[in-house]
Amino acid sequence: MNAIEIEQAITDLAEQPFDFIEFPYQFLEAFGNKSTTIKRLRAGTSNKSDLGGVLQTNNIHLLTCETGKVTQALAALKASPVTAKAKAKFVLATDGFYLEAEDLTSGETVACAFKDFPDHFGFFLPLAGISTVRQISENAFDIRATSRLNRLYVELLKENPIWGTAERSHDMNKFMARLIFCFFAEDTDIFVGKGRFTETIEQMSLRDSSNTHEVIAILFRTMNTNRKERAAAGIPRWADEFPYVNGRLFSGNDDVPRFSKIARSYLLHVGSLDWTKINPDIFGSMIQAIAEDEERGELGMHYTSVPNILKVLNPLFLDDLRTKLEEADDNARALLNLRKRIARIRIFDPACGSGNFLVIAYKEMRAIEAEINRRRDEPDRKSEIPITNFRGIELRDFPAEIARLALVIAEYQCDVLYRGQRLALAEFLPLRYDNWITCDNALRLDWLSLMDVGGSGVKLVSDNLLQSPLNQAEIDFENEGGETYICGNPPYVGSSKQSAAQKSDIQKLFEASNIKYKNLDYISGWFWLASKFCKDVNGAAAFVTTNSICQGEQVNLLWPTLLNKNMEIYFAHTSFKWSNLAKNKAGVTCVIVGIRAIKPGSKFIYFDNIRKEVTRINPYLLDFADVFIPRHSESISSLPKMLKGNQPTDGGNLILAPWEKRDLLRRNPEAEIYLRKLYGSKELIDGVDRYCIWIEDYELKDARSITEISRRLGGVTQARLQSPAQSTRKRANDAHRFIQIQDYGKRAMVVPEVSSEKREYIPCGILDEESIATNKLFAVYEPDLYVFALCSSKLHRVWVEAVCGKLEERISYSNVLGYNTFPVPELTEKNKADLTRCAEDILLAREHHFPATIADLYDQEKMPPDLRMAHERNDEVLERIYIGRRFKNNTERLEKLFDLYTKMTSSTASAKSKKRMMGAN
């Protein structure tokens, strides 16, 4: 269960009639315990309670009691020896009217009316075994609000299916945004009288809910009508107490969906929450998920957590502002200048979602400004930071709507925090009419035109074509000559997973450049536009991005042109795993890259949160000079050819597990000649046994006479016909052959395509001539063993780690990027012989530990000393060939390798161009 589901379950439980016997079980069930766990507790087998309650080990001791005896019951629970013995973290007692509970770890207590216990949702969350509890507890309100809005949304769509269609979804989204605003406003005195909005709906709408939509529509119309015009607009007296809000929020269509009785009660339910606790930096991200079919009821899988947003914003510009604040000390003049500077900073998130980067940036800047005002002794001063300087582009309608709302709420909360509620209220309404969040495709827009750079004209895209076009003269951006910082977390989509529309976005952007764009990740588009933007504007840009644009092939595709000698990477966070509160988190590893026009000043690389000051950062995010490594079709060091293994593309039909092989041979012993041992990475590393059907053309007729083989070949044909790739479908009738056959029937030195990054060495292996290597292995056929020594070396590991792509953080080997590019000094026959000896020693050491698998042997903790020694000797011999001694560390290794690579490739390049010139002569 996720947090939202738990919230719903305990809310339901509090509303049900209290059941003295059942309550403890219902309570545990609401927190996501499995029915088998509950059953065992009921049966008493796992129930350790000595008081007739329910005690779940490592969790909670619950007791229901007679009316009025709750406090005594809780004391008894705490005093019970079994509570401590079972390591219960909570005790809870209730009589159905009143409830008391204590968190035994923190000593925190809750005492409330029974029906209100769901209000302490955050308190009880550790019971759900959610690991990021602290964060969730901090955001308990936002989760509750999301949960309840979610129910309302679903119920309204049930009642008004039309509102779920593409044409009406904008109206639905606008409606939800208006509601959220009203809930916030009624709890913060923006509307006179706490809870007046919800209360008015409750009083004025009939209990059967039939006119609820009309009541709400009148309220919305009121908020869109200036006081002077209300009489003429026929606003009824009961609505007149509501203020004029406007700010586009209530303009336009004021249709309201029809309410069922349930929807009406849900609405009142959402309204009863205390919306002052709303946290706009995270709330929007949660709430936006309710409008998305796949993610409804989840906390959005792609929203960026606050710590990760700060990883972008702090080095991007906030650290600098804070340094300047510190330098200004109490100097009134310097403080004033800084305040002026801050007021003109634009923050631009071209993939803003519900605006959490913008909100956090706003709040952080307000904090700095408040400190300036404090030091200047102007604490009540109106903020000079306009929220319209926080621009965004968002493709989806609902988040765009929410982003604007979140900024409005953030502005109000900051005013309350720094200037007091009276001043905050005085200036809050009516909302400004500006439209500063654009709902459109960021890769198809001219960013400069949304930014009013240098005070030139402004071109804005209306967010709703039904409304009259914006009067551009009304828009005052207050940032002439200011800086612009671009930030955000745009979508990542690998080149082979992009939709046709996304492909075409990328094509449009890059086709005029010399970049080969077809293998780029979708996010490259944002970096591309940002770098163009930064050339024209005083500012910088940083995004959270998939780490793959800073690895392998993409480095050489994107960055040389993007940096183009006038841009630089000025800070970077190295790989970290994506994480937020969502249950189904996106599975991706990210980096953060900050770019700007070249200028002096420090650069920083962050590993986890450790900051290292450097003078340069290359696009691999390493502290080395820029090196761009393209695919090389042959070894720059004259090493023998390395091929990819053979790719089946068989839908599993040509491949047999050991038991399948046994069954087949029991029935058809004559099939043995068509079977071979098959090796991919897993088979090599973990010693997994697998076999494949391998039939030469001339054997096909005989092989087909074996029913099972014939059946399997049919399966291959079927699988290939299903493929979206034409090249695969074409080979459907060639079912007895792997789709891609490189080489076989020879002894081979093999390297796994993907393997764990935790090993000190890439675990290469040797296959005999009977075995088949799949496309999960690279192979050098009939190898000289010194090649095994090279590929098994620390130097090679370091090189491949740096220049090949990765699968998240895994080593993803490549012949053309890692092997062919590996720079090796010219080897003498003696060198080769020495290395061959080292290779043999490694292989012997492995054999000595038979039947341990490679995974066992190369486990950092458990690597046997003799094998380790053999590798050390191998490294020693090889490194002496490079520099006459051992390298001190991996940095020195990589430095040498980059250096050597540059020398070796520039000399072959000059040799080639010499050749060309000679040819021309």
Partner DNA sequence: AATCCGACAATTC
Partner DNA sequence: GAATTGTCGGATT
Q: Which of residues 665-694 bind DNA (CB under 7 A)?
A: 680-683, 685-686
The piece of 321-329, 559-567, 649-657, 873-881 that touches DNA (CB under 7 A) is 649-657
- Show contacts with DNA in window 611-640 (CB under 7 A): 631, 633
Q: Contact with DNA (CB under 7 A): which of 364, 553, 801, 875? A: 553
Q: Contact with DNA (CB under 7 A): which of 14, 112, 614, 855? A: 855
CB of 506 to DNA, least distance (A): 9
Distances (CA, A) of 7 to 103, 128, 185, 541, 796: 19, 11, 24, 39, 52
Q: Contact with DNA (CB under 7 A): which of 155, 369, 452, 521? A: 521
- Show contacts with DNA in window 100-129 (CB under 7 A): 129
Cα distance between residue 624 and residue 893, in whole Å:
12
Question: Which residue lies nearer to DNA by CB, 50 or 743?
Answer: 743
Cα distance between residue 245 and residue 594, in whole Å:
39
Q: Which amino acid belongs to residue 430?
A: P
CB of 757 to DNA, least distance (A): 8
Q: Contact with DNA (CB under 7 A): which of 115, 207, 374, 758? A: 758
Binding of residue 815 to DNA (CB under 7 A)? yes
Report the b/e string of 363-385 with b at 16+ CB within 10 A: bbbbebbbbbbebbeeeebebeb
CB of 714 to DNA, least distance (A): 15
Question: Which residue lies nearer to DNA by CB, 809 or 872?
Answer: 809
- Show contacts with DNA in window 761-780 (CB under 7 A): 774-776
Phi, psi of 235 (to 5 degrees): -75, 125
Q: Contact with DNA (CB under 7 A): which of 754, 766, 863, 904? A: 754
Q: Contact with DNA (CB under 7 A): which of 180, 278, 804, 878? A: 804
Question: Which residue lies nearer to DNA by CB, 445 or 493?
Answer: 493
Question: Which residue lies nearer to DNA by CB, 516 or 667?
Answer: 516
Question: Which residue lies nearer to DNA by CB, 288 or 681?
Answer: 681
Task: Kindly give the interhelix angle for 169-187 and 261-271, rounded to the nearest 10 degrees.
Answer: 40
Q: Is 47 helix (H, G, I), strand (E, B) or coil?
A: coil
Among the listed residues 744, 700, 754, 720, the one whose alpha carbon sits nearest the alpha carbon of residue 652: 720
Question: Which residue lies nearer to DNA by CB, 412 or 492?
Answer: 492
Q: Is 876 helix (H, G, I), strand (E, B) or coil?
A: helix
Contact track, DNA, 698-737, x by CB under 7 A: ---------------------x---xxx-xx---------
Rg of the chain in Å (alpha carbons): 33
Q: Contact with DNA (CB under 7 A): which of 279, 383, 438, 495? A: 495
Contact 262, 207 (CB under 8 A): no
Q: Contact with DNA (CB under 7 A): which of 448, 586, 665, 863? A: 586
Please report the DSSP string for 297-316 in residue order: TS--TTPPPHHHHHHHHIII
Q: Contact with DNA (CB under 7 A): which of 649, 668, 836, 890? A: 649
Token pair of 627 as six digits = 């090196």
Instruction: Return the DSSP state at 243.
Output: P
The piece of 60-68, 138-146, 196-204, 646-654 that touches DNA (CB under 7 A) is 646-654
CB of 175 to DNA, least distance (A): 27
CB of 7 to DNA, least distance (A): 17
Distances (CA, A) of 440 to 162, 346, 351, 365, 460: 24, 19, 10, 27, 11
Q: Is 413 helix (H, G, I), strand (E, B) or coil?
A: helix
Q: Is 160 helix (H, G, I), strand (E, B) or coil?
A: coil
Question: Which residue lies nearer to DNA by CB, 806 or 893?
Answer: 806
CB of 783 to DNA, least distance (A): 16
Burial class (CB in 10 A: 0-12, 13-18, 19+), 397: buried
Sign of CA dihedral 169, 184, 279, 309: positive
CA 43 to the chain's CA centroid: 43
The piece of 84-92, 265-273, 697-705, 754-762 that touches DNA (CB under 7 A) is 754-762
Binding of residue 814 to DNA (CB under 7 A)? yes
Q: Contact with DNA (CB under 7 A): which of 752, 765, 783, 823? A: 752
Contact track, DNA, 590-609, x by CB under 7 A: x-------------------
- Show contacts with DNA in window 286-325 (CB under 7 A): 302
Question: Which residue lies nearer to DNA by CB, 256 or 719?
Answer: 719
Question: Which residue lies nearer to DNA by CB, 293 or 330?
Answer: 293
Cis? peptide before 161, omega within 30° of 0: no
CA 264 to the chain's CA centroid: 36
Total residues at interface with DNA (CB under 7 A): 78
The piece of 91-99, 213-221, 469-477, 807-815 that touches DNA (CB under 7 A) is 807-815
Contact 298, 409 (CB under 8 A): no
List alpha helices for 643-706, DSSP H.
Answer: 658-667, 681-686, 700-704
